[in-house]
C-alpha cells in the first residue's frame, strides 16, 4: 500500500463509483462526502513511511509510487497539503445539494482534487502541468452541465488554464538545464520567463484574469467557487514548491520584485474594479483574484514570516469562499440573474443567506473581527515596512473591496436598514441551508476572534517545501 494509491488512485476510482450512483443523489452525495472526509482524516492521522501496528500485524504506507520511471511522492511532509486539499473538497461536497449545484460536481470535483493531489506529488515537477490540465478538463462538465450552453467565461477559463501547461513544461526543461549548468544565463532567463508566464496564466495575474469574473458571472456560483478556490490554491502551492526546491530562484531579488508587482497589481486593479461592479457573480470573480494577489504578496516577502502568512491565509479563504458560494447559490434560486437590480431587497426573503454572503464578503475584504483581518493586517504591516508605496496600493485595493461589500449590503437590504426598514417575510432558505450557512458564519467569527488557535495549524503546510521553515 502506498500513499499515492490512497490519495490519488483511490479517489479517481471512487469518483467513477459516485458517477455511477448519480441516479440516487442522496447516496451519491453520502458516498462523496464520506470519501472526502475519510481522505481528510487519513491525511490528518495516518503516518506515511512509518511502521503501523494493526492488531498483531505490521504495515508501512510507502510514500512513493513509481510509474513509467517517474514517481508520485506523498510523504509525511505532504500531509498538511492533503488535509487542505481534501478538507476544501469535503467542505464543498457537504453543501453541494443545499446549494443545488449540478450533481456532476460530486464525481468530477473528486476527480479534480485527485488530479491536483497528483500534480503536487509528481516528480519531476514539469509533469504537474499535464496533471493540472487534466484537472481543468475534468472541471468542464460541472461548469457547463448537460443542457446548458457554455458561456464565454468557461472558454476563456479553458484557454488561459491550458496555455499555462506547455509553458510549465518548457519551464521545467529550462530548470533542469540550469540544475545541470548553473552558469547558463540564457537558460536562467528562459526558466524565469516560461515559469513566470505559466503561473501568470494559472493564477490569473494581471492582465490575464478576465476569465475569472466572466466565469463567476455565467456559471453556477457553487461550481465557479470551487474552481476559483481549488485551482489557484493548487497553483500557489506548486509555486511555493518550485521556489522552495530551487535555491537560485528563491534567492533572486528579481523574483520577489515580480511577485510583489504581480500581487500588488492584482489587488489594486481587481479591488478597484470590484467597487464598480453591478453583478454579484463578476464581483465574486474579482474578489477571488484579490485573494490570489494577497498570497503572491505574502510570498514576495521572501522570509519565514511571509511564508507563514501565505499558509495561514488558506483556512479563512476556504471558509469564506465556500460560505459565499453557498449563500450566493441560495439567493440565485429566486433571482433571475446576479445583477444588483435583481437582488434588490432580497434580504427580506433570504435573510440568512444574505447575512452569510455579506459576512463572507466582508471577511474577504478584511473587515476587523472577521477571519481574514488578523492575517491581512500582519501582511500589510510587513509590506509597509519595506515598500510603503506598494502597501498604499494594496490598501487602496482592499478599500475598493470593502466599498463593494458595503454597496452590496445596501443593495440586498433595498437601502432600508434598521428597525422597520426591512419587511420580513417567510424565510426562503431550507433548514439544511440555514444550518450550513450559520455553521460557516460561526467558523468565520471564531477564526476572527481566536486567530492564535487556528492559524498556527496551517504553518505545518510549509514543511512540504524544502525552502520552508
Partner 1 sequence: MLADFALVPVVLLGSTAAFILVSQNWRASILALAIQYLAVFWLTGLVWPLGLATVKLVAGWIAGAVLGASRPDVEAFADSSPSVSYALFRLCAAGLMLVAAFSLQQAAEAVLPLQPQVLMGGMILIGLGLLQLGMSTQPLRIILGLLSVLSGFELVYAGVETAILIAGLQALVTLGLALGGAYLISAPAMGENE
Sites of contact with partner 1 (CB under 8 A): 68-70, 127, 130, 133-134, 137, 140-141, 144-150, 152, 154-155, 158-159, 162-163, 165-167, 169-170, 173, 186, 189-190
Q: What CA–CA distance (Å, rounded) separates 265 from 293?
A: 8
Tell me the closest approach of the beta carbon of residue 138 to partner 1, in angstroms. Answer: 9
Q: How far apart are CA 70 and CA 332, in angstroms?
A: 46
| CA atoms of 292 and 290, how far apart (whole Å) | 5
How many CB atoms are closer than 10 A to CB 377?
A: 13
281, three cell numbers: 457573480
Pick between residue 118 and residue 443 the one whose CB is nearest to partner 1: 118
**Least separation, in Å, of the C-beta of 90 and partner 1?**
26
Q: In whole angstroms, give the CA distance from residue 106 to residue 240.
A: 29
Closest CB 106 distance from partner 1, rounded Å: 15
Q: How far is the CB of 25 from partner 1 (least distance, A)?
A: 12
Other CB atoms within 10 Å distance of the CB of residue 166? 14
5/140 with CB nearer partner 1: 140
Nearer to partner 1, 162 or 252 (CB): 162
Nearer Cβ to partner 1 (68/253): 68
Q: Which is nearer to partner 1, 142 or 310 (CB)?
A: 142
Shorter beta-carbon distance to partner 1: residue 83 or 195:
195
Using DSSP's 3-state secondary structure scheme, residue 321 falls into: helix
Q: Smallest distance, Å, CB 169 to partner 1?
A: 6
- Strand, helix or coil for residue 60: strand
Nearer to partner 1, 206 or 350 (CB): 206
DSSP per residue over 70-139, as a string? EEEE--GGGHHHHHHHHHHHHHHHHHTTTTT--TTHHHHHHHHHHHHHHHHHEESGGGHHHHHHHHHHHT
Question: How near is the Cβ of 133 to partner 1 at its closest, in Å?
Answer: 5
Residues 6+ apart with CB under 8 A from 437: 323, 326, 327, 330, 352, 353, 355, 356, 429
Residue number, 26 or 53, with CB nearest to partner 1 = 26
Q: Do residues 111 and 138 lie in contact, with contact meaning Cβ atoms separated by under 8 Å?
A: yes
C-beta closer to partner 1: residue 15 or 315: 15
Number of H helices, E strands in the chain: 22, 5
| Residue whose C-alpha is closest to residue 228's, from 136, 327, 363 | 136
| Least spacing, CB of residue 61 vs partner 1, in Å | 25
Question: Quick one: which of 272, 324, 276, 319 has its CA closest to 293?
Answer: 272
Angle, helix 253-275 to helix 185-203, in steps of 10 degrees: 20
Sheet containing 122-123, strands listed edge to edge, beginning at the edge strand earlier in sequence: 64-67, 70-73, 122-123
**Minimum separation from the CB atom of position 117 to partner 1 (A):** 17
**Shortest distance in whole angstroms from residue 192 CB to partner 1:** 12
Amino acid at each position: 500500500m502506498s500513499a499515492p494509491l490512497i490519495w490519488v488512485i483511490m479517489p479517481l476510482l471512487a469518483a467513477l463509483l459516485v458517477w455511477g450512483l448519480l441516479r440516487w443523489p442522496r447516496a451519491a452525495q453520502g458516498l462523496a462526502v464520506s470519501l472526502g472526509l475519510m481522505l481528510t482524516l487519513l491525511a490528518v492521522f495516518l503516518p506515511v513511511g512509518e511502521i503501523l501496528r494493526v492488531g498483531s500485524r505490521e504495515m508501512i504506507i510507502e510514500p512513493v509510487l513509481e510509474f513509467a520511471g517517474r514517481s508520485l511522492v506523498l510523504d509525511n511532509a505532504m500531509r498538511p497539503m492533503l488535509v487542505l486539499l481534501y478538507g476544501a473538497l469535503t467542505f464543498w461536497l457537504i453543501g453541494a445539494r443545499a446549494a443545488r449545484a449540478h450533481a456532476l460536481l460530486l464525481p468530477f470535483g473528486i476527480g479534480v482534487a485527485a488530479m491536483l493531489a497528483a500534480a503536487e506529488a509528481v516528480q519531476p515537477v514539469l509533469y504537474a502541468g499535464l496533471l493540472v490540465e487534466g484537472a481543468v478538463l475534468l472541471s468542464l462538465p460541472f461548469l457547463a452541465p448537460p443542457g446548458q450552453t457554455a458561456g464565454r467565461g468557461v472558454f476563456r477559463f479553458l484557454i488561459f488554464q491550458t496555455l499555462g501547461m506547455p509553458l510549465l513544461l518548457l519551464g521545467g526543461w529550462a530548470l533542469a538545464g540550469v540544475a545541470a549548468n548553473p552558469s547558463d544565463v540564457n537558460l536562467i532567463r528562459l526558466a524565469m520567463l516560461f515559469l513566470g508566464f505559466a503561473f501568470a496564466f494559472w493564477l490569473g495575474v494581471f492582465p490575464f484574469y478576465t476569465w475569472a469574473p466572466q466565469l463567476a458571472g455565467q456559471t453556477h456560483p457553487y461550481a465557479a467557487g470551487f474552481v476559483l478556490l481549488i485551482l489557484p490554491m493548487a497553483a500557489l502551492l506548486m509555486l511555493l514548491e518550485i521556489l522552495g526546491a530551487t535555491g537560485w530562484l528563491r534567492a533572486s531579488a528579481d523574483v520577489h520584485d515580480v511577485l510583489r508587482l504581480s500581487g500588488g497589481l492584482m489587488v489594486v486593479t481587481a479591488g478597484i474594479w470590484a467597487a464598480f461592479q453591478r453583478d454579484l457573480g463578476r464581483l465574486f470573480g474579482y474578489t477571488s483574484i484579490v485573494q490570489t494577489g494577497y498570497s503572491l504578496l505574502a510570498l514576495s516577502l521572501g522570509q519565514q514570516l511571509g511564508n507563514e502568512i501565505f499558509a495561514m491565509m488558506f483556512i479563512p479563504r476556504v471558509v469564506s469562499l465556500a460560505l459565499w458560494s453557498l449563500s450566493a447559490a441560495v439567493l440565485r434560486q429566486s433571482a433571475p440573474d446576479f445583477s444588483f437590480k435583481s437582488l434588490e431587497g432580497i434580504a427580506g426573503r433570504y435573510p440568512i443567506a444574505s447575512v452569510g454572503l455579506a459576512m463572507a464578503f466582508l471577511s474577504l475584504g478584511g473587515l476587523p473581527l472577521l477571519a481574514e483581518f488578523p492575517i491581512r493586517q500582519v501582511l500589510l504591516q510587513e509590506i509597509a515596512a519595506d515598500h510603503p508605496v506598494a502597501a498604499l496600493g494594496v490598501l487602496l485595493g482592499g478599500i475598493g473591496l470593502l466599498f463593494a461589500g458595503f454597496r452590496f449590503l445596501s443593495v440586498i437590504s433595498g437601502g432600508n436598514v434598521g428597525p422597520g426598514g426591512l419587511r420580513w417575510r417567510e424565510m426562503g432558505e431550507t433548514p439544511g441551508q440555514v444550518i450550513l450557512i450559520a455553521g460557516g458564519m460561526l467558523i468565520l467569527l471564531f477564526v476572527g476572534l481566536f486567530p492564535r488557535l487556528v492559524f498556527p495549524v496551517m504553518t505545518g503546510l510549509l514543511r512540504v517545501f524544502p525552502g520552508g521553515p
